[in-house]
Structure 1
Amino acid sequence: MLLGWSCSFAKLAFLIGVILVNVHLAASVVMPSSNCYALDNSSYLADYTDWIGHPFEYDGKDGDDLVIRFCKDVESRSQTGYVDFGRYATNHYFVPGPAPVNFVQGFYNGDLMSCEHSFDKMGRTAQVNILCGNCLSGACKGQLGCICSVVYDAIKCRVIIELAIPCVKRGPRVFEGFTVGFHPRSWEVVYNGMTQLGYEKPHHGFSFQTEQTYLSLYLTAMSSLSGLVGKPTLKINPDKGLKVELSGSAASGSAPTTLSPSILIVNWRCLSAHDIPYEIFISIPIDGYDPVEFTLTKLCDYKQGDENDSTRGWATFGVLSCIFIVLSMLFCCGGFIYKSRVERQRGLDALPGMSILSACLETVTGPRGYTLGDDIRRNFANQSSWDDQPASAPGTQGASERKYGSI
């Protein structure tokens, strides 16, 4: 009995472990909450947000103490005051470094005293070379990091510092250079492979309105890596009440580039009203990297008509138009038959060479043009008899001329 319970517990623990692993693998790569992060040489995320402001001190030979406040600033302190060697301002100053250095941090815009002509007029600067673990000399063992060495460069008005700190847990692998935005050159949703705040989870303030029936997203990636981007998939919560379909070049697997972004069109329609926004989870698989995932929210204040209503309306219009044309032709032909019978009863001959279609048109629209009078038609009919009559005698012609030409 105890063995059976143990096996069941082991199976349950295994299933929970598998679920947790799958959840971890499916988790989206979210932009860290601070700018104190970096991507290593293998594009894995290293988030040092918890280290912001942590001080590291170094006793100088001349009685000056160098202090690093992690991801904040670097300064040299003494009894006469302190000298600022720059401040940390952006994640572009936290980059991977060449071996054996893991990362490099840059601090800029320090004091200008005696450094007014420094490089790019930035004043004093500091470069911190970060080693994950211990110093190359073996120092920092058992400590929460320490400064290994400090080198001052008076000519360039900078200081180069070697700092050893424990390695943080390796994060997800980021597909660098990948963006998703609402315009071809924007990245409101995903920037540099990481989902932006506001789209990493459902946010009511970022919801799209009911009347907006589609959304266009533009995907870009480095041309050399664009073939790694797969077809996006989606999941809706709740799964009923909102119809969502993906289309566009990105939905068909077209490779996005910076010069030719692929388009992902999200077609959505509210089939029923809902009190809370719908959540649409979109996942874009990247071969060899963690998937890029983001969340869109959609409001459904009222039910929208089916997208096929307009198509059905045009189809109905086409059927009614065909019926009207058929009825018009039947009326036309009926009028021609009736007219022919009336003319036959009155003893009138049908006009020669008139087709059924012409008669139908005449019946519906009336005769086109004008007709010659009976006298003129008889004159045209007797034209041949005028030509066959013999020429008048000279005498008669002279008498006639004298009759009409004399006074």
Structure 2
Amino acid sequence: MSARYYIGVCSLHLPLFTALINVLLQAIEMNAIAVPSSNCYVFDNSSHIIDFSSWVGQPFEYEGKDSDLVVRFCKDVENRSQMGYVDFGRFDKFNSFVSGSGHANFVQDYYYGDLTSCEQSHDKLGRTALVNVICGSCLNGQCKGGLGCICNITYESNCRVIVDLAIPCANQGPRVFKGFTVGFHPRSWEIVYNGLTQLGFEKPHRAFSFSTEQTSVALYMTAIASLSSSIQKPIIQVYPENGLEVKVSGSGATGSYPTTLSPSMLMIDWRCYVVRDIPYEVNVTIPVADYEPISFFLTKMCEKRQDVQGDSTKGWATFGILSCIFIVVASLFCCGGFVYKARVQGQRGIDALPGMALLSACLETVTGAGPSYPRAEGINSGLVSEASWDHPPSSSNSQRTWTPTDKNYGSI
């Protein structure tokens, strides 16, 4: 009895457990690879991102005979002595932090140090430093464990120093599709830059929401041509599902491969049907073969309901179609009536047009004028009066005297 009850409970909870796993996997897939909070990150040789943001400013000191060299990780390199500090370069967002080769896993460049006696050195950048980052311990076995140490320093000149720094490197992050950008213009990258989702779009932000009046957004995608064929069709997810209608179009929606010379466009048309105080969340996920998917969030405010596009012109379209039908039918009717009256009734000219008799009657009624055709009596009377004097008087009327009429028609 208890065994059957246990099996029944397990079979009941199995679908719920499966649904929960699917939801968790979906949530993991929707997470965007956001740009780190600092510029102290690097891509290894396999395009995996390694974030060193927690190491910013961490000091590593190397004691020398006359001076000490201090490396403040992702910040600057200093030479400290009794004479004071000498800056050998600073690290900022324009400095390079790239993967290395040989004994160095990564390489950092520090520029714009002190200019004293180094005004013309290294492209007029002042004192500079090159830091070779070694993951693990030094080759000579120094500084095992802990936060690491400086293994060796080499002064190429008074203006440049090379430092070997050993630290325990962080674990590899997701594999990033470098060279991929998404922006609001063909040559911009406000949303995604170098495969990393920029701050403001890595998760829903009310401050970055689009207004209700903006019914469409155009996104331009570019990628390295050699890897653009790995990009797949985007996936759109809306939360909540009801209340905001989202439609995508453009070359980016059909799976067109974007390049730096020919960006693909992804058009997002959205309409508000349910008013909501909290913005709607639209998650755009672009799968990439052999890489983590590109994911970012767009938010849309719905302060009022929006009509469906085309409702305002639907009435005019109907009117235009009916007008065309009426014109075609009227033309066929006129042509048919004209042919019938001309062939059957023998009418010619304007009289053969259908409706001319009715139009003429209406015009006569409005103007109040009678028929414009002369009456037969008038025509005959004129002919009789003009021709009556041409006939000579008969013999029976010979006694009558002929008197000319008052009108003068000339001498006969």
Aligned-pair CA distance for 1:242: 0.6
For residues 357 and 260 of structure 2, what CA distance do their matches in structure 1 show? 66
Q: TM-score with structure 1 length normalisation?
A: 0.78
Deviations 1:12-64 (A, max 9, x none): 9999788656644542110111111111111111111111111101111x231
Amino acid at match of 1:116: E
- 2:107 is the alignment partner of 1:104: yes
Q: Which residue of 2 aligns with 1:250?
A: 252
For residues 336 and 283 of structure 1, what CA distance do their matches in structure 2 show? 67
2:50 to 16, 34, 46: 46
Instruction: Describe the SS at the equivalent of 2:61.
Output: strand
Given that 1:285 and 1:292 are in contact with CA atoms closer than 8 Å, whether structure 2 keeps it comes out as yes
Q: Give the share of equivalent positions with the same residue, in percent.
A: 54
For residues 61 and 303 of structure 2, what CA distance do their matches in structure 1 show? 59
Given that 1:37 and 1:47 are in contact with CA atoms closer than 8 Å, whether structure 2 keeps it comes out as yes
- 2:296 is the alignment partner of 1:294: yes
Instruction: Describe the SS at the equivalent of 2:226.
Output: helix
For residues 108 and 267 of structure 2, what CA distance do their matches in structure 1 show? 40
- 2:213 is the alignment partner of 1:221: no
Given that 2:350 and 2:356 are in contact with CA atoms closer than 8 Å, whether structure 1 keeps it comes out as no
Instruction: Describe the SS at the equivalent of 1:50.
Output: helix
Q: Which residue of 2 aligns with 1:369?
A: none
Amino acid at match of 2:146: Q
Aligned-pair CA distance for 1:131: 0.7
How do 1:126-275 residues align onto structure 2 when only pairs under 5 Å count? Answer: 126-154=129-157, 157-275=159-277
Instruction: Describe the SS at the equivalent of 2:71.
Output: strand
- 2:87 is the alignment partner of 1:93: no
Q: Which residue of 1 aligns with 2:76?
A: 73
Aligned-pair CA distance for 1:100: 2.7
Q: TM-score with structure 2 length normalisation?
A: 0.77
Aligned-pair CA distance for 1:113: 1.6
Deviations 1:57-116 (A, max 9, x none): 1111x2311101111100011112121101101164211111331111111111112212
For residues 111 and 165 of structure 1, what CA distance do their matches in structure 2 show? 27
Q: Point out where structure 2 has 5 or more consecutive residues left out of the alignment.
A: 363-372, 375-412
Amino acid at match of 2:308: D
Aligned-pair CA distance for 1:168: 0.6
Q: Which residue of 2 aligns with 1:386?
A: none
Given that 1:36 and 1:91 are in contact with CA atoms closer than 8 Å, whether structure 2 keeps it comes out as no
Structure showing greater radius of gyration is 2
Distance 1:186 1:355, change over 3 A: farther
For residues 304 and 206 of structure 2, what CA distance do their matches in structure 1 show? 17
2:120 to 101, 117, 120: 117
Amino acid at match of 2:319: F
Q: Which residue of 2 aligns with 1:34?
A: 38
Q: Which residue of 1 aligns with 2:407?
A: none
For residues 262 and 68 of structure 2, what CA distance do their matches in structure 1 show? 53
Distance 1:41 1:276, change over 3 A: same
Given that 1:87 and 1:109 are in contact with CA atoms closer than 8 Å, whether structure 2 keeps it comes out as yes
Instruction: Describe the SS at the equivalent of 2:277.
Output: coil
Amino acid at match of 2:108: Q
For residues 166 and 85 of structure 1, what CA distance do their matches in structure 2 show? 24
For residues 348 and 264 of structure 2, what CA distance do their matches in structure 1 show? 68
Given that 1:336 and 1:360 are in contact with CA atoms closer than 8 Å, whether structure 2 keeps it comes out as no
For residues 189 and 319 of structure 1, what CA distance do their matches in structure 2 show? 44
For residues 40 and 321 of structure 2, what CA distance do their matches in structure 1 show? 67
For residues 362 and 103 of structure 1, what CA distance do their matches in structure 2 show? 99
Q: Point out where structure 1 has 5 or more consecutive residues left out of the alignment.
A: 367-372, 375-407
For residues 361 and 50 of structure 1, what CA distance do their matches in structure 2 show? 95
Distance 1:22 1:265, change over 3 A: closer
- Greater alpha carbon shift after TM alignment, 172-181 vs 302-311: 302-311
- 2:86 is the alignment partner of 1:83: yes
Distance 1:353 1:14, change over 3 A: closer
When the two chains are superposed, the root-mean-square deviation of aligned CA atoms in Å is 3.6
Distance 1:41 1:14, change over 3 A: farther
Distance 1:204 1:169, change over 3 A: same
1:56 to 46, 53, 60: 60
For residues 29 and 322 of structure 2, what CA distance do their matches in structure 1 show? 57
Given that 1:206 and 1:297 are in contact with CA atoms closer than 8 Å, whether structure 2 keeps it comes out as yes
Amino acid at match of 2:61: E
For residues 150 and 209 of structure 2, what CA distance do their matches in structure 1 show? 48
